[in-house]
């Protein structure tokens, strides 16, 4: 059977793309053919390792199929319900693209990722797309509750017309009930990581060479988008205090470009022990995890189901200092495999954060103990093999 995955796929950054990137090889190994469909600025098809990646510009698709799209926009008005016009317009065009791709690829099942992309599901049904559709929701109901409450009636159809509902944490699984008041069952499928790729370094003395920093240095590492929701402002405000912990301390900030990229770059120009890396390749992430001593995840996103990078760092045997946002406490146990920093007045408590950072600098045996426990938790709950097994069970149920 061929399965279509509708969501971001590398080279995009983010949890969805990382998840799909890690998941698909496991399904291919078990005999499934897989196709990814990603909205893009270009039209491109890539095929490698029995995975077909289709990148399509929605604008160019609409222009190319304008008459069919416009006809569907008017023909399907009866299902628009309380959906806003621009949301409806975009959902119809995207649904037409998905339906056309499914027909061409002869897909027998669809996995849709993200709450907004889920808007296509009632339209797909009206376009006679009768193959099983599974929707994985994320935490946007929490952060954009007003938007979803304004289309509450339509979103009931989204959930009701999905054959299977998933969430990547219990926190996000509860969001439809907590925000919309709908009591649909969601299966929690944790986004796993490859414990063979993300594993402790064999030789700790060589891990920092690629960064051109001393082997004796102590590294705090952050990986994520350079936006406020990821806690970048907290790191910037406390960067000097972190670096002042010791003269051998380095703070590495890496990830996708965002609103704070310029500020991070400016600060890195002033402090030679603050290193900034933008848009690092997927395959290079492991080098950064190996080079770090403590992983930092100060995210303030209520929508954070559970960061993939947190689990990657845990798999590499690194202790994690994180906020209590979203589903993070489902992965990080305070005092066990890292520290959870409480949130007060909408932000992580700086004094507690810095105290925990200093503590892990001073306590090498504690770092080792927490890192080992983090690795143990990943093996128990968050491996890619367990995620693939969950998908195989879902596919079997829907087949």
| SS3 letters across 145-208 | HHHHHCCHHHHHHHHHCCCEEEECCHHHHCHHHHHHCCCCCCEECCCCECCCCCCCCCCHHHCC
245/371 same-domain check: yes
Same domain flag for 156 and 127 = yes
Does 252 lie in the same domain as 106?
A: no
Classify residue 198: in a domain, yes or no: no
Collapsing DSSP to helix, strand or coil, 380 comes out as helix
- pLDDT of 204 reads 61
The pLDDT score that the predictor gives to residue 11 is: 60
Q: Report the pLDDT value the prediction gives residue 12, as an integer from 0 to 100.
A: 59
What are 339's two structure tokens?
């520290």
- What pLDDT, on the 0 to 100 scale, is given for residue 208? 83
Does residue 165 sit in the same domain as residue 266? no
Please indicate, yes or no, whether residues 214 and 313 belong to a single structural domain of this protein: yes
pLDDT of residue 264: 95
Our count of domains for the chain comes to: 2
Order of all β-strands in the sheet with 320-323: 274-278, 249-255, 218-223, 294-297, 320-323, 338-341
Q: Does 268 map to a domain? A: yes
Domain membership of residue 197 (yes or no) is no
CATH number of the domain within which 114 lies: 3.40.50.2000
According to the model, what pLDDT value does residue 314 have?
97
Domain that holds residue 159: 2-192+384-398
> Do 220 and 345 share a domain, yes or no?
yes
Residues 35, 180 within the same domain? yes
Task: Note whether 220 and 360 are same-domain residues.
Answer: yes
Using alpha carbons, select from 136, 53, 67, 131 the residue that is nearest to residue 99.
131
Residues 224 and 352 both lie in one domain: yes
> How far is it, in rounded angstroms, from Cα 291 to Cα 177?
41
One pLDDT digit (tens) per residue for the chain, 399 residues: 999 999 888 765 567 887 888 889 999 999 999 999 999 999 999 998 789 999 999 999 999 999 999 999 999 999 999 999 999 999 999 999 999 999 999 999 999 999 999 999 999 999 999 999 999 998 889 888 999 999 999 999 999 999 999 999 999 999 999 999 999 999 999 989 999 999 998 776 667 888 889 988 999 999 988 988 888 999 999 999 999 999 999 999 998 888 999 999 999 999 999 999 998 888 888 999 999 999 999 987 666 778 889 999 999 999 999 999 889 999 999 999 999 999 887 778 889 999 999 999 999 999 999 999 999 999 999 999 999 999 999 999 999
Same domain? 188 vs 211: no
- Domain identity same for 73 and 210: no
pLDDT value of position 205: 61
Q: What is the pTM of this model?
A: 0.87
Position 199 in a domain: no
Same domain, 49 and 108: yes
């Amino acid at each position: 059977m061929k399965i279509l995955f509708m969501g971001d796929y590398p080279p995009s950054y983010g949890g969805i793309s990382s998840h799909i990137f890690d998941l698909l090889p496991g399904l291919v190994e078990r005999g499934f053919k897989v196709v990814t469909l990603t909205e893009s600025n270009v039209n491109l098809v890539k095929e490698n390792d029995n995975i077909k990646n289709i990148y399509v510009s929605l604008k160019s698709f609409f222009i190319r199929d304008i008459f069919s799209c416009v006809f569907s926009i008017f023909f399907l008005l009866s299902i628009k319900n309380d959906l806003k016009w621009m949301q409806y317009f975009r959902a119809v065009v995207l649904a037409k693209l998905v339906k056309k791709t499914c027909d061409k690829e002869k897909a027998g099942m669809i996995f849709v990722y993200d709450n907004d992309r889920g808007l296509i599901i009632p339209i797909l049904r009206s376009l006679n797309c009768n193959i099983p559709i599974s929707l994985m929701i994320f935490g946007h109901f929490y952060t954009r509750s007003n938007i979803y409450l304004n289309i509450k009636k339509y979103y009931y159809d989204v959930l009701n017309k999905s054959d299977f509902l998933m969430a990547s944490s219990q926190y996000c699984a509860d969001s439809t009930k907590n925000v919309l008041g709908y009591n649909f069952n969601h299966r929690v499928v944790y986004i796993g990581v490859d414990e063979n790729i993300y594993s402790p370094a064999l030789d700790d003395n060589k891990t920092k060479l690629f960064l051109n920093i001393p082997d004796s240095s102590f590294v705090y590492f952050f990986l994520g988008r350079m936006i406020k929701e990821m806690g970048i402002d907290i790191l910037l405000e406390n960067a000097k205090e972190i670096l002042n912990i010791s003269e051998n301390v380095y703070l590495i900030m890496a990830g996708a470009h965002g609103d704070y990229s310029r500020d991070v770059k400016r600060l890195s120009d002033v402090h030679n022990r603050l290193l900034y890396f933008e848009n690092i390749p997927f395959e290079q992430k492991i080098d950064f995890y190996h080079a770090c001593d403590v992983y930092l995840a100060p995210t303030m996103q209520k929508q954070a189901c559970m960061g993939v990078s947190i689990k990657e760092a845990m798999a590499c045997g690194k202790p994690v200092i994180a906020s209590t946002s979203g589903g993070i406490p489902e992965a990080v146990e305070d005092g066990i495999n890292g520290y959870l920093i409480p949130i007060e007045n909408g932000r992580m408590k700086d004094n507690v954060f810095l105290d925990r950072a200093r503590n892990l600098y001073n306590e090498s045996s504690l770092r080792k103990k927490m890192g080992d426990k983090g690795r143990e938790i990943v093996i128990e709950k968050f491996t890619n093999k367990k995620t693939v097994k969950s998908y195989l069970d879902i596919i079997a149920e829907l087949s």
